[in-house]
Homo-oligomer: A and B are copies of this chain.
Amino acid sequence: MAHEAPFQLLHSELIHYICKTADGADSENGRSVTKLENMGFRVGQGLIERLTKDTARFKDELDVMKFICKDFWTCVFKKQIDNLRTNHQGIYVLQDNKFLLLCHMSAGKQYLEHAPKYLAFTCGLVRGALSNMGVKSIVTAEVSVMPACKFQVMIQKL
């Protein structure tokens, strides 16, 4: 019964709180997005620690990404990633056709400009989770038609 609602509503409230003090300037918006990304990073770190407590060691990078797409995504967003693609050279694209944190917004292009705020936390979440598994990455997101979105993970080789 609405198991995802507390997280989703708290996330919305957080965005509201962080962005209401921003004055609308691009620099302020950028700062809000960075704050959200950082908070996501720390939550992702904590979360992956709990989730991997009893799992077997991961074989390789792809194995780690599959864990993110299935177990990790289900824990946070109550569904799996719908599609995972990779170029086998360190770029992964995770597609969610009905992303929880965009579901409460109208489809169509009306609110598209607000999407970055609603994706920043999750970009950080993925980056934090990967970081705790020893995988350094850059994570970005894009939306073309809500509530579908794609997260691109670029692995940073050491």
| Contact between chains at A43 and B75 (CB < 8 Å) | no
A47 to B104, CA, bound (A): 13
Q: Which residues does chain B contribute within 8 Å of A9, judged by CB atoms? A: 42-43, 46-47
> A interface, by DSSP: helix, strand, loop or mixed?
helix
Contacting residues, chain B, for A47 (C-beta < 8 A):
2, 5-6, 9
The reply on A158 being an interface residue by CB < 8 A is no
Q: With A17-B39, A43-B9, A43-B10 known to touch, is A3 a contact of B2 (CB < 8 Å)? A: no
| CB-CB under 8 A for A75 and B2, given A14-B14, A39-B13, A42-B13 | yes
Cα-based distance from A17 to B15 in the complex (angstroms): 12
A76 within 8 A of partner (CB): yes
A103 at the interface (CB under 8 A from B): no
